[in-house]
Amino acid sequence: MPNATPVPARGLISPKDHTLILIDFQSQMAFATHSIDAITLRTNAALVAHAAAGFSVPTILTTVAEKSFSGPMFDEISEAFPGQAMLDRTSMNTWEDKAVIRRVNEIGKSRLVLAGLWTSVCIVGPALSALDQGFEVYVITDACGDVSKEAHERAVDRMIQAGARPMTSLQYLLELQRDWARSETYDLTTGIARKYGGAYGLGIIYAKTMLGEHASEAGAAA
């Protein structure tokens, strides 16, 4: 029988063990996205971006044909990283862009987390390419979208079959926090959840309003 110890699984992510790559969250790409509604997509993308910025996760922001066709990246993302340059590409596969790969190598993390538009092209391409080169890949599936539900789901299936690990936007935030006793990021995490966490965020607002400072997930550990 194995001996249990109170340590996290290696497969769980932490703020310092990965690079986040946010890909082509642009107007033109969103217009044809039908696997997820635009409001939910923008909210989930914002949650991921603000979580990464708040926890100082090294993040690459990349666009495709920004000025000639696809338009700017969502404000919800660019506002989380003020002043950070967008790496604009011509390649549909982000992994084939030399500037992006240069930045991946500069950051030097072997674990990558991906999200963006469209799942079947702009996420499958770098996911399969990175896996082929020995990287560990996670995909935030509810912060991705495609031209149809079928296209999105088959793309996710294909990446999982190749070894990528799916996760969700709220899962990403809470996995970065992982312990409510980590007081230095408690307000950050609950603040992001309140703003972008849907029904969970409403629950936090209710608890804080009704119970005030007595409402704390860390209370049980105190």
Confidence band of 214 (pLDDT split at 50, 70, 90): low
Sheet containing 19-23: order of strands = 87-89, 59-64, 19-23, 111-116, 136-140, 165-167
Of 128, 119, 186, 126, the residue nearest 154 (C-alpha): 119
Residue 222: what pLDDT?
A: 41
Token pair listed for 166 = 């799916």
Exposure on the CB side of residue 197, measured as CA atoms within 13 A: 19
Residue 107: what pLDDT?
A: 98
Residues found in the chain: 222
- pLDDT tens digits, residue range 156-169? 999 999 999 999 99
Give the pLDDT mean for 127-138.
98
- The helix/strand count (H/E) of the chain reads as 9, 6
φ, ψ at 210 (rounded to 5°): -80, -35
Three-state secondary structure string covering 188-218: HHHHHHHHHCHHHHHHHHHHHHHHHHHCCHH
CA distance 164 to 144: 14
CA distance 218 to 222: 6
Domain residue extents for the chain: 19-174, 179-221
Cα 71 to its chain centre, rounded Å, is: 21
Q: Among 68-77, 96-105, 124-133, where is mean pLDDT lowest?
A: 68-77
Token pair listed for 194 = 């309140």
Percent of the chain with pLDDT over 90: 85
Beta-bridge mates of residue 21: 60, 114
Architecture of domain 19-174: 3-Layer(aba) Sandwich (3.40)
Of 126, 117, 125, the residue nearest 45 (C-alpha): 117
Residue 70: what pLDDT?
A: 84
Q: What is the pTM of this model?
A: 0.93
CA distance 192 to 164: 26
Residue 105: what pLDDT?
A: 98
The pLDDT of residue 212 is above 80: no
Residue 192: what pLDDT?
A: 97
- pLDDT tens digits, residue range 94-105? 999 999 999 999
Token pair listed for 31 = 């217009």
- pLDDT tens digits, residue range 40-56? 999 999 999 999 999 99
- 3-state class (DSSP) for residue 3: coil
